[in-house]
Chain A
């Protein structure tokens, strides 16, 4: 199984900040990497797929990059509605696996 490791587990930031979350795969997944946002009590929402493609309706302040084993999710100009937990997921091979999550908290 491909292990997905996210860092940091949590980050404190202020509105307007730039936040960067990393995701590392235990083996190469090409660009088959997705990012989700999850708010408390809600289902995850797809933000980005194939490492850098923005899902329809997702604000352009979200961006993704990387390939192979190392990936990054960047939130520019953090907004109040962005405080949530973010998960990466590899879709390169079965079993599909998720990172442990990164909680973006208000400083």
Chain B
């Protein structure tokens, strides 16, 4: 059974850079046609797609965040990462990592999510 687990700081200061890691277990991040993604959800609001990465390193970002987002993959550690720069209070959200089983496929496995609060 594939499992994903986010890790990272729960509190980050405005203007700083958020760094989150998603550790994948129960399967290889390099296997098959899986794409690995980040999605966020501000408190009490809906879901926003941040971006996807393939194990080759190809990345796809939401145009609304593209200038601030970097997603990378470390196949040796079976994990992928999110960096979001120039944070503001509007970036406060629960951040989820997830797996899509193919190109433009929905997410069938999700991490439990991690709340990130941007505040001084």
Contact surface of A with B, Cβ cutoff 8 Å: 1, 32, 34, 36, 42-46, 49, 55, 87, 89, 91-101
Contacts and interface: CB of A to CB of B under 8 A. Distances in A.
Contact of A43 (B48, B60, B96): B96
Given A34-B106, A43-B112, A46-B107, A95 B47 contact: no
Nearest to B49: A96
Given A96-B49, A98-B49, A100-B46, A91 B64 contact: no
Contacts, number: 52
B47 A46 contact: no
Nearest to B107: A46
B108 A99 contact: no
Contacts of A100: 46
Interface residues of B, number: 22
Interface string B88-120: 000000001010100011111011110000000
Interface string B59-101: 0111110000000000000000000000000000000101010
Of the candidates A36, A42, A46, the one having the most CB atoms from chain B within 10 angstroms of its own CB is A46
Given A43-B96, A46-B106, A93-B104, A1 B63 contact: yes
A23 to B, nearest CB: 12
Contact of B49 (A42, A97, A99): A97
Given A43-B110, A89-B106, A98-B46, 11 more contacts: A34-B106, A43-B96, A43-B112, A89-B47, A91-B104, A93-B104, A94-B60, A95-B64, A98-B49, A101-B46, A101-B47
